[in-house]
A and B are shown apart, each in its own frame.
Chain A
Amino acid sequence: MRYLPLNDEDRADMLARVGAAGIDALFADIPEAKRLARDLDLPHRKTEMEVERLLSGFAAKNVAAGSVPFFVGAGAYKHHIPATVDHLIQRSEFLTSYTPYQPEIAQGTLQAIFEFQTQVANLTAMEVANASIYDGSTATVEAVAMAHRITKRRKAILSGGLHPHYAEAVSTYAGMAGDEALVLPPDVFATEDLGALVNGETSCVVMQSPDVFGNLRDLSELAAHCKAKGALLIAVFTEAISLGLIHPPGAMGADIVAGEGQSIGNRLNFGGPYVGLFAAKAKYLRQMPGRLCGETADALGRRGFVLTLSTREQHIRRDKATSNICTNSGLASLAFSIHLTLLGDAGLRRLARINHANAVALASRLAAVPGVEVLNTTFFNEFTIKIAGDAAAAVERMAEAGVLGGVPVSRLLPDKGLDDLILTASTEVNTEADRAAFVVALQGVLSC
């Protein structure tokens, strides 16, 4: 087997050194009746060529985003990733190293984490950021749990504009812990008044902007309401590139920010791995979940970096830890950091402008199609359209016509009477030809 260096001669020599009569002597602690006498009922080994053939076959059955006019978003976005990013994250020293427990031989990973933390803090206009959570949804779950610890209250209010998967994850965790999560009804037009619901029992309010329907939300007023009642404001985003053009949550008074970083540096990957961004006000540092990298010096006084404040974490604090998280999204956060380093402020702003321009262009094209209404007043690169007919069927039929035109709202929110809505995203990858194809496909669906 090509991955196993020992040959039978080695094995025999080593067994002799160990003093075992045979390999099974080393498995003698397994009760004999429970030992497998034969190989598992699975195929035998395959050559590299065979594995490539098998898996390429599966891959060929999927429609790749880059192969069609593509407008699907709702929490994961198709962006161009510079070739440099993928090359660098495949460097052996990044790809095949462990969590940096021995900092003297992991300064590469640690400095990259320190830079990542700074980038995330600056991007969100927050004071501190951690080394990542699994993804945006789990970062939101962690943010709510953190708010409960800080406020010593147990009730979260979740905006009706929060991504439904995120809301379900928060509700699930809350149910298990005996906490309360009030999920507001879907808020297509961003008209809900969360401030009025905040009271002395509220631990936190969770608000997403751009929200799942694409609307931009001004958090400032809500932040003031929360502050007045001793509750925390958790700001969520699923499209990190929006922060190149939109007022950041930290500048609007957010206490904790939980975001999805996939858009920067990471591919769609059918939903994972992604990278959860997590930032907070510095005064809440000791209640943060996850790894933190800090600056220090070595014995010669040279700057260096280590994982720090680990007394918050599970390997020290066990059941009293701020979170159970251990492995996080290391390599995905590195991809994020490299891509953002390539972009810089200037590049990020331009990229965000292109996204917005393409979405604005698409919105005006679609609004001109009979039977289509664009519902948003504000948006970044994603908005909601209402069509005359069933959205899920329309999306399926457009797909058959070679256009992936978005996500039917009913896929995320079934049985809510929102069956005629489609979430449609447009990024820098879309061309005028893509938009034209979308219009033709949608017209085709609506006319029959």
Chain B
Amino acid sequence: MLMRHGQPIEVAGPAEETRTFTGNRGLEIEEGLIFEIGRPENTGVDLDEPAPFEYRLGTLERQQPAGLPGLSEPETMRHYVRLSRMNYAIDAGIYPLGSCTMKHNPRLNEVIARLPGFADIHPLQPQASVQGALEVIAELGRWLMVMTGMDAVAMSPRAGAHGEACGMMVIKAAIAAKGEAATRRIVLVPESAHGTNPASAATAGFEVRAVPARPDGTLDPAEIRRQLGPDVAAIMLTNPNTCGLFETDVVEIAAMVHEAGAYFYCDGANFNAIMGKTRPGDLGADAMHINLHKTFSTPHGGGGPGAGPVVLSSRLAPFAPVPFLRREEGGLRLVEHRGEAPGAFGRIAAFHGQMGMFVRAFAYMASHGADGLRQAAEDAVLNANYVRANLKDLMSEPFGDRPCMHEVLFDESWLKGTGLTALDFAKAMIDEGFHPMTIYFPLVAHGAMLIEPTESESKASLDLFIAAVRDLALAVLRGETGRFDGAPHYAPRRRLDETRAARNPVLKWTKPIV
């Protein structure tokens, strides 16, 4: 039972196992919306009214309050702490979402990002007063270039997809500089790619053509050759790909792409598998974004913020957007205007990039060092293969029996005839205390189940995870579906009705009519 101003509000239907007076279940506490528990006249911030003064607002003073409830500080604390306890988190357990690289987030990085010298500096204060910040950006950029074997880096993209768009815009500018803007309009995107790839190519004004994978889950150079032509601007290729497989023919593909006058954009989402083991620049990439919020551990925060710097080959470097850093006598300087950078294709956002994420990522890299980064990649790949080795006898692999990189892909075919789906299986994993793997991605596998344990898991953690998944899988194969029907049973909510949410969208709270 939720209370508003001392009156009960009904949001929960009757439910046999939640039939407590309050609707709470021990530590799990039902919590109303701030609009139900707060009042507009209350506030949790003490501020003194200013002395009377003459407004300079012309005729534009607000006439109506916005309708924003306020809560005192203790009420605010309780509200959000209660909400937080309804969330799963990497700090609480394995988070094996394939393609998401949910690794440990060191708290040192949080401490450092909050130093006033980083958190409390303004993007437009005089550059002489932020030389330390510019040095961090330059140093992070240098590490990224060394790790990828590339020649330049654009630091301003705010997230992976923003980086993809930035990279594709660099490519478009390079093509335009060669006078081929009107003819090279096609970007090849494998069917296994993240949805952001085709969407980003479209954002940059390209047309997308899908490339099918061959039966082993990787790209066929012959198919690429067939599709390449004078109308092709670029290929966007994720390596390792979203099936968790290294594209074995990447060098050959890169060469034929270059030969055809096109560019090779590499989606760096899966860089965690190969850092310190190989360099995308050596494999022929012309541009690649790096998700600092994946590979370099800046926290996901329930959906961001991220950062997506783009490393560039020497062929593309002249077209990088503003701003970028230039080392001059007396220190570093941000070049902020195209007047100083005639090749730059433009600007993709205000200011200079996600400094808060740069600091965290750099602290992470510096902590690991070259040796630690390589070890992290090796452990990530070893962990994924260990999971694979222990599950492949029960679960089906869409592309045959071969080692994976940092994530292992299973599909739904082993569930055939059981009446269960990947979704059912995932929801039952929740009851066992695990965040499920990524399901239904990549689209090239039917009922995909993509597991990425990352290097942050101990062997004991993996052994428990494996044992639990095996136990569930064996139950399925014995025809015992009770644990799956209506799962999850032990989460703060039972299965949620997504169809209803989409059919009748309720996207904000409105005052109920009494």
Contact = CB atoms under 8 A, between A and B. Distances in A.
A340 B303 contact: no
A103 to B, nearest CB: 5
A46 B120 contact: no
A64 B43 contact: no
A448 interface: no
Interface stretch (A111-119, A197-205, A435-443): A111-119
B66 A411 contact: no
Given A273-B356, A345-B66, A3 B306 contact: no
B205 A27 contact: no
Contacts of A152: none
A298 B496 contact: yes
Interface string B477-490: 00000000010100
Given A128-B508, A172-B169, A297-B500, A138 B86 contact: no
Interface in B353-382: 353-357, 359, 362-363, 365-376, 378-379, 381-382
Contacts of A23: 378, 381-382
B426 to A, nearest CB: 7
A97 B300 contact: yes
A379 B506 CA distance: 36
Contacts of A285: 505, 507
B414 interface: no
Contacts of B447: none
B35 interface: yes
Contacts of A296: 496-498, 500-501, 506
Contacts, number: 755
A293 B307 CA distance: 23
B456 A5 contact: yes
A38 B363 CA distance: 23
B345 A246 contact: no
B366 A18 contact: no
Interface residues of A, number: 215
A107 B132 contact: no
Given A34-B282, A105-B87, A17 B62 contact: no
A433 interface: no
A343 interface: yes
A171 B35 CA distance: 39
B129 A90 contact: no
B370 A42 contact: yes
Interface stretch (B89-97, B221-229, B309-317): B89-97
Given A3-B368, A34-B283, A300-B15, A104 B427 contact: yes
Contact of A105 (B73, B123, B492): B492
B49 interface: yes
Interface in A80-129: 82, 84, 86-109, 111-115, 117-119, 121-123, 125, 128-129
Given A96-B89, A104-B491, A119-B68, A166 B110 contact: no
Contacts of A291: 303
A125 to B, nearest CB: 7
Contacts of B486: 299
Given A45-B367, A332-B305, A350-B49, A171 B160 contact: no
Most buried by A among B123, B301, B368: B301
Interface string A1-17: 11111100011011101
A48 interface: yes
Contacts of B146: 40-42
Interface string A249-264: 0010000000010000
B44 A396 contact: no
A88 to B, nearest CB: 5
Interface string A367-408: 000000000111110000000000000011001000010010
Interface in A42-56: 42-46, 48, 50-52, 54-56
Interface in A27-71: 27-31, 34-36, 39-46, 48, 50-52, 54-67, 70
How would you classify the secondary structure of chain B's contact residues: helix, strand, loop or mixed?
Answer: loop
A330 interface: yes
Nearest to B115: A59
Interface stretch (B74-82, B257-265, B467-475): B74-82
A168 B338 CA distance: 10
B393 interface: no
B21 interface: no
Interface in B446-481: 455-459, 461
A122 B40 CA distance: 12
B514 interface: no
Contacts of A57: 132
Interface string A345-368: 111111101101111110100000
Given A134-B349, A318-B198, A341-B34, A18 B76 contact: no
Contact of A14 (B321, B371, B386): B386
Interface in A307-338: 308-311, 313-321, 323-332, 334, 338
Given A273-B304, A302-B12, A324-B200, 18 more contacts: A6-B383, A27-B277, A48-B108, A58-B132, A78-B120, A84-B73, A93-B89, A97-B301, A105-B430, A117-B508, A118-B508, A128-B508, A216-B57, A344-B43, A346-B70, A356-B56, A357-B50, A378-B60
A101 to B, nearest CB: 7
B302 A109 contact: yes
B177 interface: no
Interface residues of B, number: 214
A315 to B, nearest CB: 4
Contacts of A64: 116-117, 120-121
B118 A270 contact: yes
B112 A55 contact: yes
Nearest to A59: B117
A64 B438 CA distance: 42
A446 to B, nearest CB: 18
Contacts of B84: 88, 91-94, 108
Given A172-B169, A306-B498, A4 B347 contact: no
A261 B363 CA distance: 27
A131 interface: yes
Contacts of B355: 269-272
A94 B301 contact: yes
A35 B278 contact: yes
B293 interface: yes
B234 interface: no
B192 to A, nearest CB: 12
A306 B497 CA distance: 8
Contacts of B128: 396, 399
A54 B58 CA distance: 51
Give 10 closest A-B pairs by Cβ, nearest first: A344-B70, A301-B13, A59-B117, A331-B301, A61-B132, A271-B351, A172-B346, A330-B303, A271-B123, A273-B305
B156 to A, nearest CB: 9
